[in-house]
């Protein structure tokens, strides 16, 4: 297990390095000049050149990258080219919205997907099982933007139960208001992602029901549902754990969109704003943190799967 963990850590570090190079290089080839944007339409060439020098944009690209990575290794993601504020501090502030939103959405997705996915597999061939399967297919195809708008129209505009936009100025100092502001966005992401996960849970459950040990248990007198619950669910759980890593990445993507729809001051909305302003330092810091988070989730999922699956331990 230790050797496997060390190997995965090395791959994680390599993945972060490759991601940092790709992020840095991609942002440098985008059209536009941040120095010209800061100087404005009336800025003279001399003023633009001075701004480029102040921002370090006149240095060779390789030196810019090494300087950025040197700061990253010490926990310094740099400062905004536009406002001069610390990227790390702004990320920490915006994460107070994005992380709770993601956790709530993931919890909703799991609560929807696991029991309904198992139920639709157990009731395969019946009207209820078919209805659940068709419903999951339809919900998985719904664009998250459209789902968010429809939920806002129903629960915020027509019923007035929940706020449709914004986040309280007091933040989590007013936890009730903060939670109310995140309910609709979290439900929007959670329902769509839950429908996708439900299809996989159903497929994994159907596969488990065909395993020899489940059929043997059923032959000994257990019903199909009892045999599945006692002997098949562990294998379903392993499959679901693996897919959850991908689901978390999907939730992050959904958060970028939903924070725009519900005007939430989270990392996703900040990223879109900074891309429009071409604030390279902030954008590359935000993308590196998000990419690193996804890679770390994949690393943790690999370790958990390796620890719980005896077949992988034997191969190691």
| Structural domains of the chain, ranges and CATH numbers in brackets | 2-73 (no CATH), 96-265 (1.10.3720.10)
Mean pLDDT of the chain: 80
- What's the token pair of residue 154? 């129903």
- At residue 44, φ and ψ (nearest 5 deg) are -80, 160
Band (185; pLDDT cuts 50, 70, 90): very high
> Which run of H or E residues covers position 165?
none
Q: Is the pLDDT of residue 202 over 60?
A: yes
Rounded CA-CA distance 281/274 in Å is: 9
Band (231; pLDDT cuts 50, 70, 90): low
With CA atoms as reference, report the closest residue to 165 among 94, 73, 258.
258
Band (197; pLDDT cuts 50, 70, 90): confident
What is the reported pLDDT for 224? 61
Q: Is the pLDDT of residue 30 over 70?
A: no
174 and 122 in contact (C-beta within 8 Å)?
Answer: no
Rounded CA-CA distance 184/148 in Å is: 7
Output DSSP code: residue 211: S
Rounded CA-CA distance 243/248 in Å is: 9
Backbone dihedral region for residue 19 (phi beyond 0: left; psi -120 to 50: alpha; all else: beta)? alpha
Predicted confidence (pLDDT) per residue in 131-184, tens digit: 888 888 888 888 888 888 888 888 888 888 888 888 888 778 888 888 999 999
Predicted confidence (pLDDT) per residue in 95-118, tens digit: 889 999 988 998 998 888 888 888
- At residue 22, φ and ψ (nearest 5 deg) are -65, -45
What is the reported pLDDT for 277? 77
């Amino acid at each position: 297990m230790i050797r496997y963990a060390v190997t995965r850590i090395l791959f994680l570090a390599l993945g972060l390095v490759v991601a940092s190079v790709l992020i840095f290089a991609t942002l440098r080839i985008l059209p536009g000049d941040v120095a010209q944007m800061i100087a404005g339409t009336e800025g003279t060439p001399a003023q633009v050149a001075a701004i480029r020098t102040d921002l370090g944009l006149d240095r060779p690209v390789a030196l810019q990258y090494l300087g950025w990575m040197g700061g990253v290794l010490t926990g310094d993601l740099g400062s905004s080219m536009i406002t001069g504020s610390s990227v790390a501090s702004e990320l920490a502030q915006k994460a107070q919205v994005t992380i709770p939103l993601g956790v709530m959405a993931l919890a909703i997705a799991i609560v929807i997907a696991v029991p309904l996915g198992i139920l639709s597999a157990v009731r395969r061939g019946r009207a209820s099982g078919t209805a659940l399967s068709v419903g999951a297919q339809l919900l998985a195809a719904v664009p998250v933007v459209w789902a968010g708008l429809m939920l806002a129209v129903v629960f915020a505009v027509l019923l007035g139960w929940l706020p449709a936009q914004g986040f309280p100025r007091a933040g989590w100092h007013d936890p009730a208001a903060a939670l109310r502001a995140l309910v609709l966005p979290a439900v929007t992401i959670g329902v769509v992602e839950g429908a996708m996960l439900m299809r996989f849970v159903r497929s994994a459950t159907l596969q488990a029901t065909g395993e020899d040990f489940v059929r043997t248990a059923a032959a000994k007198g257990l019903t199909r549902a009892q045999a599945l619950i006692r002997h098949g669910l562990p294998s379903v759980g392993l499959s679901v754990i693996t897919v959850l890593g991908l689901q978390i990445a999907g939730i992050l993507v959904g958060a970028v969109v939903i924070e725009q729809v519900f005007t939430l001051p989270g990392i996703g909305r900040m990223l879109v704003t900074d891309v429009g302003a071409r604030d390279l330092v902030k954008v590359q810091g935000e993308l590196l943190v998000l990419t690193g988070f996804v890679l770390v989730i994949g690393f943790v999922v690999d370790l958990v799967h390796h620890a719980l699956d005896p077949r992988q331990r034997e191969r190691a």
